Amino acid sequence: MKSLLRAREFWLACVIVVLGLGVSTRSEGFLAPASLANIFNDTSILIMLALGQMVVILTRSIDLSMAANLALSGMLVALINVAFPGMPVPLLMLTAAAFGAALGAFNGILVWKLDIPPIVVTLGTLTIYRGMIYVIAGGSWVNAHQMTDAFKAVPRTEVLGITLLSWIAVIVVLGFYLLMTRTPLGRSFYATGINPTAATYAGIDVGRTRFIGFCIAGMVSGLAGYLWIARYAVAYVDVAGGFELNIIAACVIGGISIAGGTGTAVGAVLGALFLGVVNNALPVIGISPFWQMAISGSAILLAVVFNSRGERQRGRIILKQADTP
């Protein structure tokens, strides 16, 4: 019980519940099952991207190009759908994921082999990927009437009362949970972030581990690219513009330490859900959506403060134990 009360994820879940209960006093239907399903559906893409970013951050890196990767991968499969309308949608989804993974691998190679700081690499590739959208699309949009019905149907199709978009997010969450808690690769991500030098002595290839992290983040971004374009039925250069800030915010709020080595898949999911509840609650309680960024920024600052205090407290305990005869 004590370990549960000390868990950041527990308190974040409590905050989300209290926030939902508070909003429900202004709107009785806010906590209705259909409303909660809509909130999860609206947040599904952010949840998947936050999990991909989590893997990168755990290794003391960061990927600022995930939203640009999403936009480029989405534009690519939209153009393929227009040129080859008979191509099966599952193949298009695999194409988007593979192309996104290739873009992530490009980031990972630059970080691994050339030892360039991740923030510099991904800030550069962010601009490159956005520019590539202009090149492949010629500056034009791909609109709903150009896309096939099958292409647009996947995110909207309901199974057992929940959209396929939400089911895909659930599968991705379960996959990341198993990856981080049940596999040697997941433990390697944590070891690389906690102490890269010790991880190297333990036989872990730190550079290769970071490279794999970027590949996973890219693959998730590519898949999210198809889902985003298919759901909103439009592809253009500025798709998901600035969304990388929401992705990082979800990770930080969920307890993923920017210093690396600390955080869980559950925390990343809760961080994304917190932002999803806030975004859906703003219109209900009469707050302008323009306050969204301010609220998100305040939540990030509070999360960073809590993270840093928790890390300092753990450090003092270790020193105190070391001084004990």
Strands (E), 47-91: none
Is 276 within the bounds of a domain?
no
Model pLDDT for residues 59-72, shown as the tens digit of each residue: 999 999 999 999 99
Average pLDDT, the chain: 87
Nearest to 164 by CA among 151, 153, 177: 153
Q: Nearest 5°: phi and psi at 163?
A: -70, 155
Least confident range from 92-106, 168-182, 269-283: namely: 269-283
Is 323 within the bounds of a domain?
no
Is 68 within the bounds of a domain?
yes
Q: What's the structural domain count of the chain?
A: 1
Alpha-carbon gap, residue 80 to 260, rounded angstroms: 38
Q: Is the pLDDT of residue 3 over 80?
A: no
Model pLDDT for residues 292-323, shown as the tens digit of each residue: 667 767 777 777 777 665 555 444 433 344 44
Half-sphere CA count of 189, side-chain side, radius 13 A: 29
168, 273, 274 from 287: Cα distances, Å: 31, 19, 16
Report the sign of the C-alpha dihedral through residues 302, 305, 311, 312, in that order: negative
Model pLDDT for residues 212-250, shown as the tens digit of each residue: 999 999 999 999 999 999 999 999 988 998 899 889 989
Alpha-carbon gap, residue 57 to 258, rounded angstroms: 6
Higher-scoring residue by pLDDT: 311, 152 = 152
Model pLDDT for residues 182-202, shown as the tens digit of each residue: 999 999 999 999 999 999 998
Is 271 within the bounds of a domain?
no
Higher-scoring residue by pLDDT: 299, 13 = 13
The answer to whether 96 and 78 are in contact (CB under 8 A) is no
Alpha-carbon gap, residue 154 to 262, rounded angstroms: 35
Is 250 within the bounds of a domain?
no
Q: Is the pLDDT of residue 117 over 80?
A: yes
Is 218 within the bounds of a domain?
yes
Residue 194: the pLDDT is 92
Q: Which amino acid is at 304?
A: V
Model pLDDT for residues 30-65, shown as the tens digit of each residue: 778 888 899 999 999 999 999 999 999 999 999 999
Q: Integer distance in angstroms from the first to the last C-alpha of the chain?
A: 30
Q: Look-up: residue for tokens 């020193």?
A: 319
Alpha-carbon gap, residue 19 to 2, rounded angstroms: 24
Q: What is the DSSP letter of 156?
A: T
Is 26 within the bounds of a domain?
no
The answer to whether 105 and 218 are in contact (CB under 8 A) is yes
Alpha-carbon gap, residue 143 to 21, rounded angstroms: 39
Q: Nearest 5°: phi and psi at 159?
A: -130, 120
Q: What is the pTM of this model?
A: 0.90
Q: Is the pLDDT of residue 282 over 50?
A: yes
Is 272 within the bounds of a domain?
no
Domain that holds residue 181: 35-241+257-263
Kindly give, in sequence order, each residue whose CB lies less than 8 Å from that of residue 82, ignoring residues fewer than 6 positions away. Answer: 142, 146, 147
